[in-house]
Structure 1
């Protein structure tokens, strides 16, 4: 088996989080709901990216925004940083870093989703040859 990293996210309002992700362009490819409108398990896909999403099962602490980061987040490699940033804000996200060109020749932007999960959209490809 080849190793893969699969991210999962828990949300207090997982149905709303799934809606927000679909506004970015993700497609819900699997979803199992519980009896109280909670999401037991869902998977969303955008190209080769797959995220697992569920409703929270505890009162998890969220990391606060300090400066321009929570210290943890998701990085989505995209061609159209500005377009993803605009869609994220239109769907209820909060701007953290407006789209900008970086000193290393790439473009990036950062938002918090409606439950304060940090999302960075960028053109830098981690792991690519330097």
Structure 2
């Protein structure tokens, strides 16, 4: 992993329980591409992974409770206070992303719908407790 000029100014860095399963889920549900992965010394947990998805990047790691309470997943702490928002180019993309994610095993938080802020919007919860929002502008007629 190199820190170069192409690193986005803001990245999500999420903690999951069972990092290898999470990577496989994000590949199936979001079409993510694993661009870097480093396993922990135990050979079982992901110390760090970079996933390219939706023209952006998400970093993830497994739980490491031995490093303190900040290294725990939403499944361990009982929920998340954050939704990761994916801004898509077209309204139909929201429905397609929602369908792909739920077919891969995500649960529905909010079905795709048109909103008061002139967007098509949906939310899912992945099997690892993270909430993802899909958002795209609604075409005006």
The TM-score, its normalising length taken from structure 1, stands at: 0.81
Superposed CA deviations along residues 8-30 of structure 1, whole A, max 9, x for unmatched, are: 00111111111111111111000
Structure-1 residue corresponding to 2:25: 20
2:86 pairs, out of 73, 76, 86, with 76
Deviations 1:42-61 (A, max 9, x none): 00012531111111102635
For 1:62 and 1:110, locate their aligned partners in 2 and report how far apart those are by CA, in whole Å: 20
In the TM superposition, structure 1's runs of 4+ consecutive aligned residues that sit over 2 Å from their partners are 59-64
Q: Contact 2:54/2:86 (CA < 8 Å) preserved in 1?
A: no
Shift of 1:63: 4.9
Count of paired positions: 119
Q: Give the Cα–Cα distance (whole angstroms) in 2 for the partners of residues 31 and 16 of structure 1.
A: 13
8 Å Cα contact 1:111-1:119 kept in structure 2: yes
Q: Counterparts in 2 of 1:54-65, with a 5 A limit?
A: 54-58=61-65, 60=72, 61-64=76-79
TM-score, length-normalised on structure 2? 0.75
Structure exhibiting the larger radius of gyration computed from Cα positions: 2
2:11 match: 6
Q: Which runs of 5+ in 2 are unaligned?
A: none
Q: Kindly indicate whether the alpha-carbon contact (under 8 Å) linking 2:107 and 2:127 is maintained by their aligned counterparts in 1.
A: yes
Larger helix percent: 2
